[in-house]
């Protein structure tokens, strides 16, 4: 992403520098010794330096890690693949994938409504697609919880699942 911003700022900076040359000619014609500092050019240079510094941090694997959280649903898997390709295009390193909201396969063994049975079967199909698409880059599998991960108790449960239990598929 920084490359895109960098190119854009380079173009604008070049235009401002060109305008500065015209300002200098105009000042000479008005018999002025100096031209006021171009504050816009200074601001553009400042922005460019900030973008470059951010880019260095975001693309440094020792300092930054990005993980995509994917849910075993077709559209989310497709969107995640597109996002990963975009990250690769802009040299942003991806550290792996977390598969979230995984229903336990043994849940389908009892007397359950057809909707839930079909959802489990469909999710298992998509789990195969996730394994095929992301392979050993999947770092953890997180089970479907009874509610969203909000608040310290739920975050603690998620951390337990990811870092202590190893996030292995259930």
Structure tokens at 109: 């063994």
* Domain coordinates in residue numbering, the chain: 2-58, 67-164
Kindly tell me if the per-residue pLDDT of 24 is higher than 80. no
* Highest-scoring range by mean pLDDT, 24-28, 144-148, 159-163: 144-148
* Highest-scoring range by mean pLDDT, 51-55, 83-87, 101-105: 83-87
At 48-84, the pLDDT tens digits run 888 888 888 888 888 888 999 999 999 999 999 999 9
Kindly tell me if the per-residue pLDDT of 131 is higher than 90. yes
User: For the whole prediction, is pTM greater than 0.75?
Assistant: no
Structure tokens at 60: 């440094």
d(CA 47, CA 9): 8
Structure tokens at 113: 């409504």
Q: What is the pLDDT of residue 170?
A: 46
The CATH-assigned architecture of domain 67-164 is 3-Layer(aba) Sandwich (3.40)
Residues 6+ apart with CB under 8 A from 170: 102, 104, 105, 141, 143
């Amino acid at each position: 992403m920084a490359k895109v911003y960098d190119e854009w700022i380079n173009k604008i900076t070049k235009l401002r520098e060109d305008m500065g040359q015209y300002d200098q000619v105009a000042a000479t014609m008005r018999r002025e010794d100096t031209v006021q500092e171009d504050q816009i050019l200074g601001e553009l240079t400042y922005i460019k330096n900030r973008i470059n510094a951010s880019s260095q941090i975001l693309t440094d694997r020792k300092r930054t890690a990005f993980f995509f959280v994917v849910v075993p649903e077709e559209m989310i898997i497709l969107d995640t693949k597109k996002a990963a390709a975009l990250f690769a295009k802009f040299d942003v390193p991806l550290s792996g994938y977390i598969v979230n909201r995984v229903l336990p396969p043994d849940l389908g063994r009892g007397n359950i409504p057809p909707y839930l049975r079909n959802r489990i079967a469909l999710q298992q199909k998509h789990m195969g697609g996730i394994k095929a698409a992301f392979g050993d880059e999947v770092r953890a599998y997180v089970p479907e919880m009874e509610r969203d991960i909000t608040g310290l108790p739920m975050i603690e449960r998620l951390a337990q699942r990811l870092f202590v239990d190893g996030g292995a598929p259930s």
